[in-house]
Amino acid sequence: MDHVTKQRRSEIMSKIRGKNTTPELVVRKIVHSLGYRYRLHAKNIPGKPDLVFIGRKKAIFVHGCFWHGHDCNKGKPPNSNEEYWFPKLEANKIRDRKNIIDLEKMGWKVLIVWQCNLKNIDSLRDQLIKFLNF
């Protein structure tokens, strides 16, 4: 059972963004400071990656740990309303896997940056440099 009213839950959910999230903005700022240029949410690329490097055939997805089912503290599904959340979050994971497979079949390299990776900016910067240079 949900511990907030249906109206309050609707208000909370309406504030959740799919684009231009704080983790995504952090990654974009790092990548830009490294001198790389990219496209955002390219509609013609499977999964509409958050950052797309067309010439390099590389794509970066910035995933929220909760929404994409990461195996960390932030990725735990809620204990309430499980009959709603479990299928929804599982469908997100299935869609993510399909998008990655589709991109790789097209010859693209894919990097997933998890929300929890932003705790260590230096490590994230190194990960981004390594991904974009090779």
The widest CA-to-CA distance across the chain, in whole angstroms, is 50
CATH 3.40.960.10 assigned to domain 19-133? The reply is yes
For the range 49-52, what are the long-range contacts, defined as Cβ-Cβ under 8 Å and sequence gap of 24 or more? Answer: 49/103, 49/110, 50/19, 50/24, 51/27
Ranges of the chain with pLDDT below 50: none
**pLDDT at residue number 6:** 67
pTM: 0.86
